[in-house]
Amino acid sequence: MDAVEKAYQTQLKNIQTKTGKSLDQLYALLHKSGLTKHGEIRELAKHDLGLGHGDANTLAKFYLARAAGQPAARGAAPSLAVPPDEKTDEMYSGSKAELRPLHDKVMAAIGNLGPFEISAKKTYLSLRRSKQFAMVGPGTRGRLEVGLNMKGVPATSRLAAQPAGGMCQYKVLLTDAKEVDRELVGWLKQAYDSAG
């Protein structure tokens, strides 16, 4: 990752911290505005989100690149490769809508790990580096499912081992934002690191 890419990644993380919103949430807000011109989007980000000119400019730049379907640059912030907001919205519609805030919290935690790609499937998001390291999607009975690919970790009552040959070696079921804790982030980091 070159210095410019690293600076953009840091700036996008800082924007999330300043606004208290994930890039997915910020992009959804910009998408709902219907604005398509860089200057208009920049002004909206300054006015509605309280961002300074530089942060608003960068947010507009990466939002428009993603909206145009341009591939993320090597080392760019993870959400540049996020599927269209409509796909994620569709996954969390109807009876699964209550899981969206939990999904967003998990994705924000994963976003802090470093760059990765996201591929939207019908019922989940596949998260990849050089290979898939996790899956996130709505499960059954009001639970969010987080699938993890990592080896050599003993299963627990919370970290359920999955049958060999499946999409992930482990699964964690979440029902509450408090469960996005240090232990879960540790497992996510281990899966992320092993997929490099």
- Digit-by-digit pLDDT tens for the chain (196 residues) are 555 577 778 888 889 999 999 888 898 889 889 888 888 998 999 999 999 887 888 898 888 877 765 444 333 444 443 344 567 888 888 899 999 999 989 988 888 888 878 877 888 988 888 899 999 999 989 999 999 999 889 999 999 999 888 889 999 999 999 999 999 999 999 999 998 7
Full-prediction pTM beyond 0.75?
Answer: no
Q: Which amino acid is at 44?
A: L
132: number of Cβ within 10 Å: 19
| Percent composition of the chain: helix, strand, coil (DSSP 3-state, to 5) | 50, 15, 35
The encoded tokens of residue 164 equal 């060999």
Domain ranges of the chain: 1-77, 83-196
The encoded tokens of residue 67 equal 């909206």
Helix (H) or strand (E) holding 48: helix 38-49
Is 117 within 8 Å of 83 (Cβ atoms)? no
Question: With the CA atoms of 55, 57, 60 and 61 taken in that order, what torsion angle do they form, in degrees rounded to the nearest 10?
Answer: -110
The sign of the CA dihedral 13, 14, 15, 16 is positive
Return the pLDDT at 75.
36
